[in-house]
């Protein structure tokens, strides 16, 4: 696990090494164990590649990067882990390749040399890497299937810049890019971020999950972007429910076993929910004598406290538990550090709980954690993505089944018949009718008082909600799994992966997500939809069956879900003293906002005159982020 950075400039600059060192220093937390820089002269230009390393596999200098092939043709910088590197190395040895190290980096490099882009589907792991071919002067930038590892890039005026984190890539600019106002609007109004190619800075982009860029440095305008993975959602109707549960159990245990490969101590983040509990219990099932350290956030005295459920798992596996309880005062003290490490605004204070969990893991000497991220998007978690399920039933002509499902679905905790009615209006009624009703029910969320309407009109700006597009051909009658695929590839999961990556790497901890493998995703997205979300409204239906005998029944039969959530509303009400300071920014930096009305809005929420919403946190977060940008 590491941080990577690189740039190509058509004219050599004397401060090139200084820029690289500044960028690497911004990411030293990602890799405190080693670092390296290499320079390549290309005609009149210069390419520089750098990496800072957190040693996980092969702790020797054999894993040093940048790493070059034996013949010197290829050089690689790599952030991530390849869990099946041993199996791939054996395959490559049979093909005649020799190896100088025990690192997964060398395996990745030789796999690319031999198989090219076909190697990517063979990899089980998380990765963002750059490979330079100095025979034909091409640069290839690659990101893993789910976007577990970050990759930012900028291409303009003949220059190419890229890095694992925004603060690092910003060091490569002579003049800092402008704030992306459209991205800011989408975030502030609808909470949309990390769901497309755009970042909060103009012309700094995300390399999308499952994509690679190939750039010819002799003709930088010849850029080829290709999607290397797009999962099929074609239904496998021949598999029975019990067979599916059995295969899922086997696949999940295989994933856990591979993700436990490490030359440093391993633990697990445990919320008490099904996903993290399954990870911990599978670790114990596979390795009866393995010491298991768990790290749990607890919110004592709060309605979001999960300690009881975490204790059930800790007792079941005889874990070594570590519990983290955080306060409002600690949040205030750490908020700037957390905002800066995230690089961009984020959705809520719950990630502070995660931030503290990883801090405690590192304090206890645990360098790798296994986490349950991605299970909800693969297994129809949260509330079950009922809109997609209902739309599938509608397209199949099963209207009565749809009504029966909505009735049963509404009985579960956190849901009610009002939710079902809205789903019915949205999905089951003709578009013209449902659109009219939605207009009547509009709460004016997309037209808040604190927007500078004149500025938006003048600059032709308008916030756009992130809407699931259910129009793909292969999605007909498979709208639930179509929606899950969309969530996996950027419309939901990307935010959570960003939080986890930055929070864990802040403390030099590698967070692994064993649910997120291509094999598991393709298997689950091929199942009949009612295996994932039952006709009675039960989420993760087939996974609960698969985990019987491994996870305690109390957890499998649990009907609510909380996760790492903080008492955000209560914390916000204590922030009155800080709000005026945090929103005190230069109006020229945010011409699309009315700062006075933001303060009025926040104070009315704090005083109980207006209902709390997550939009309040986003306003605070964004203004404080803007303040901090002036210091970067």
Binding-site positions for L-glutamine read 104
Locate all alpha helices (DSSP H) within 141-211, ordered by sequence: 166-170, 181-190
Beta bridge partners of 38: 49
Alpha-carbon torsion 57, 62, 67, 68, what sign?
A: negative
Active site residue 281: no
Instruction: Choose, from 2, 281, 491, 623, the residue flagged as catalytic.
Output: 2
And the tokens for 89?
């190395």
Please state, in angstroms and rounded to a whole number, the distance separating the CA atoms of residues 306 and 311. Answer: 9
Please state, in angstroms and rounded to a whole number, the distance separating the CA atoms of residues 393 and 380. Answer: 16
Parallel, antiparallel or unpaired: strands 293-297 and 266-269: parallel
Beta bridge partners of 323: 296
Burial label, 191 (beta-carbon count in 10 A; 0-12, 13-18, 19+): buried
CA nearest neighbour of 354 among 365, 343, 341? 341
CA distances from 448 to 18, 346, 500 (A): 45, 19, 31
Please state, in angstroms and rounded to a whole number, the distance separating the CA atoms of residues 6 and 47. Answer: 7
Please state, in angstroms and rounded to a whole number, the distance separating the CA atoms of residues 136 and 111. Answer: 19
Please state, in angstroms and rounded to a whole number, the distance separating the CA atoms of residues 339 and 265. Answer: 28
CA nearest neighbour of 470 among 483, 485, 484? 483
And the tokens for 125?
């792991």
And the tokens for 437?
């009703």
Parallel, antiparallel or unpaired: strands 205-206 and 211-216: unpaired
In the 8-state DSSP scheme, what is residue 60? S
Q: Quick count: other Cβ atoms within 10 Å of Cβ 580?
A: 11
For 64, half-sphere exposure in the C-beta direction (CA atoms, 13 angstrom radius) is 9
CA nearest neighbour of 411 among 437, 438, 386? 386
N- to C-terminal Cα separation, the chain: 25
Please state, in angstroms and rounded to a whole number, the distance separating the CA atoms of residues 520 and 487. Answer: 15
Q: Which residues are catalytic?
A: 2
């Amino acid at each position: 696990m590491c941080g990577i950075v690189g740039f190509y400039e058509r004219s050599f600059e004397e401060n090139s090494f200084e820029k690289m060192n500044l960028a690497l220093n911004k990411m030293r937390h990602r890799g405190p164990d080693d670092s390296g820089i290499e320079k390549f002269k290309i005609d009149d230009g210069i390419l520089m590649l750098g990496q800072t390393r957190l040693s996980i596999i092969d702790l020797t200098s054999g894993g040093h990067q940048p790493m070059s092939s034996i013949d010197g043709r290829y050089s690689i910088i790599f952030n991530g882990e390849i869990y099946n590197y041993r199996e791939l190395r054996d395959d490559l040895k049979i093909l005649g390749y020799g190896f100088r190290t025990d690192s997964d980096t060398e395996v990745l490099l030789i796999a690319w040399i031999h198989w090219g882009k076909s190697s990517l589907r063979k990899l089980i792991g998380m990765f963002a890497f750059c490979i330079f071919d100095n025979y034909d002067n091409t640069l290839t930038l690659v990101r893993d299937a789910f976007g577990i590892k970050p990759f930012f890039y900028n291409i303009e005026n003949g220059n190419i810049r890229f890095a694992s984190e925004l603060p690092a890539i910003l060091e490569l600019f002579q003049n800092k890019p402008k704030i992306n106002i459209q991205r800011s609007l989408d975030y502030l109004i609808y909470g949309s971020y990390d769901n497309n190619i755009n970042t909060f800075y103009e012309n700094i982009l995300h390399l999308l999950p499952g994509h690679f860029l190939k750039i010819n440095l002799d003709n930088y305008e010849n850029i080829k972007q290709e999607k290397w993975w797009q999962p099929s959602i074609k239904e496998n109707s021949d598999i029975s429910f019990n067979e599916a549960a059995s295969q899922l159990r086997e696949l999940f245990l295989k994933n856990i076993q591979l993700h436990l490969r490490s030359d440093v101590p391993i633990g697990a983040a445990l919320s008490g929910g099904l996903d993290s509990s399954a990870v911990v219990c599978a670790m114990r099932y596979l390795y009866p004598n393995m010491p298991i350290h768990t790290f749990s956030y607890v919110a004592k005295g709060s309605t979001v406290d999960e300690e009881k459920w975490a204790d059930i798992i800790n007792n079941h596996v005889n874990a070594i538990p570590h519990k983290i309880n955080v306060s409002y005062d600690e949040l205030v003290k750490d908020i700037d550090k957390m905002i800066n490490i995230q690089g961009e605004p984020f959705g809520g204070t719950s990630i502070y709980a995660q931030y503290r969990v990883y801090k405690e893991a590192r304090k206890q000497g645990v360098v790798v954690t296994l986490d349950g991220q991605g299970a909800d998007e693969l297994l129809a978690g949260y509330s079950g993505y009922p809109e997609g399920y209902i739309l599938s039933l509608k397209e199949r002509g099963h209207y009565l089944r749809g009504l029966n499902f909505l009735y049963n679905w509404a009985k579960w905790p956190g849901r009610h018949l009002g939710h079902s009615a809205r789903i019915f209006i949205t999905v089951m009624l003709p578009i013209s009718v449902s659109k009219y009703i939605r207009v009547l029910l509009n709460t004016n969320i997309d037209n808040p008082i604190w927007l500078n309407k004149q500025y938006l009109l003048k600059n032709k700006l308008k916030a756009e909600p992130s809407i699931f597009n259910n129009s793909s051909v292969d999605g007909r009658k498979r709208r639930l799994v179509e929606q899950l695929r969309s969530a996996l590839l950027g419309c939901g999961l990307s935010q959570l992966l960003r939080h986890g990556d930055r929070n864990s790497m802040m403390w030099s901890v590698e967070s692994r997500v064993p649910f997120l493998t291509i094999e598991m995703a393709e298997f689950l997205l091929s199942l009949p939809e009612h295996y994932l979300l039952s006709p009675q409204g039960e989420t993760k239906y087939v996974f609960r069956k698969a985990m019987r005998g491994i996870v305690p029944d109390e957890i499998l039969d649990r009907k609510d879900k909380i996760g790492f959530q903080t008492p955000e509303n209560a914390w916000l009400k204590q922030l009155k003293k800080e709000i005026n300071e945090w929103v005190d920014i230069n109006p020229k930096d945010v011409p699309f906002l009315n700062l006075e009305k933001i303060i009025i809005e926040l104070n009315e929420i704090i005083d109980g005159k207006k209902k709390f919403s997550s939009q309040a946190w986003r306003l605070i977060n964004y203004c404080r982020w803007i303040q901090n940008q002036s210091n970067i």
